[in-house]
Amino acid sequence: DGGITQSPKYLFRKEGQNVTLSCEQNLNHDAMYWYRQDPGQGLRLIYYSQIVNDFQKGDIAEGYSVSREKKESFPLTVTSAQKNPTAFYLCASSTWGLAGGKNIQYFGAGTRLSVL
């Protein structure tokens, strides 16, 4: 079955700790994205990557880091610099290069991060 797998489903972070959220896709998509979702605020883009070994900051990249060493994988690290990390994190993937907004994004089931 093709899809996007995020793990873990729930994650707890202690003060001063970095934590890494996993995202894997087997849709053969070039582009991958990380979003943060807070109640009433919709989806805000953290980082995105159009191709392996390249990624771009989104609207709220501060306190986060990513890597894209393989096409299938796009892990997100929430660093200790992110002072308010409690949120629902969603990973998505899509084709890239179809102009006119035709790249449809498909989402994983999300990781809920809480601070201890």
Partner 1 sequence: QQPVQSPQAVILREGEDAVINCSSSKALYSVHWYRQKHGEAPVFLMILLKGGEQKGHDKISASFNEKKQQSSLYLTASQLSYSGTYFCGTGDYKLSFGAGTTVTVRA
Residues at the contact surface with partner 1, assessed by CB under 8 A = 4, 33, 35, 40-45, 48, 50, 58, 88, 90, 96, 99-110, 112
Q: Residue 30 or residue 115: which is nearer to partner 1 going by CB?
A: 30
Minimum CB distance to partner 1 smaller for 52 or for 96 = 96
Provide the minimum distance between the beta carbon of 1 and partner 1 in the complex, in angstroms, as a whole number: 14
Q: What CA–CA distance (Å, rounded) separates 96 from 59?
A: 19
CB of 101 to partner 1, least distance (A): 3
CA distance 84 to 106: 26
Q: Would you give the end-to-end CA distance of the chain in angstroms?
A: 35
Contacts 24+ apart (CB under 8 A), 40-49: 43/90, 46/76, 46/89, 47/76, 49/74
Nearer residue to partner 1 within complex by CB, 13 or 106 = 106
Residue 37 has φ and ψ, to the nearest 5°, of -125, 120
* Least distance between partner 1 and beta carbon 80 (Å): 27
Q: Please, which residue, 16 or 42, has the CB nearer to partner 1? A: 42
CB of 70 to partner 1, least distance (A): 21
